[in-house]
Structure 1
Amino acid sequence: MEDGAKMDKFEGFELIARLHMPESGELCIICKASDSKALFKHFMFWRSAFGCEFLYRPALTCAEMVEMQKLHNADLEEKGF
C-alpha cells in the first residue's frame, strides 16, 4: 500500500495522496497531472470497473498562483488597466 499501485505514477501523472473520509464515504485524491488525458488514464479503471464518479478540481500551488498573478497584473498594466 505504501509503495502505491502500478498506475500511481507514469509520465504526466503522479499520485500525491489518497485521503478517505469514512463519515461521508468520499475519497479525496491529490495528484499532479499534465492534462485531462492523464487524469482519465489513471481514473478510467475505477469508473469502468466500479462505477466510481470523479469531480476534478484543478488547483495551483502558492508559487504557481503568485507566478500567474504577476503575469496577469503585467498583462493588465500593458493594456492600461
Structure 2
Amino acid sequence: VEVIKIDPKNTTINCSNCKSKVYKKLYNRIHKCKCGLEIDRDYNSAINILNIGQGLSKFTPVEIEPLRELTKVPTSSVVEAGSSLR
C-alpha cells in the first residue's frame, strides 16, 4: 500500500467541484459554493484530499469508474465481533 502525505491546508476552502475558494467560519459545517455544490465541509475536504492524492500517486489506476451499489445486508444477519453465534 502506497501512503502519500497530503498537506490539508485549504482542503475545506477549495470547492471539490469547481476549485473556487469558499471561505467559511469553522462553525459553518456545510460547504456551499456558487457552482451549486452543497455538501458537508469535511466530505468536501476528503474529496479534495483524494483528488490531490490521486494526482500525486506514482501509479495510475487501470480503471476508474463509479462505485457500484453496495449489497444491503439485513441487520439480523450481522454478528458483532466477540459475540457468540446463535
TM range (shorter): under 0.3
Q: Which has the higher strand share?
A: 1
The normalised TM-score by structure 1 is 0.23
TM-score in terms of structure 2 length: 0.22
Which structure has the larger Rg? 2
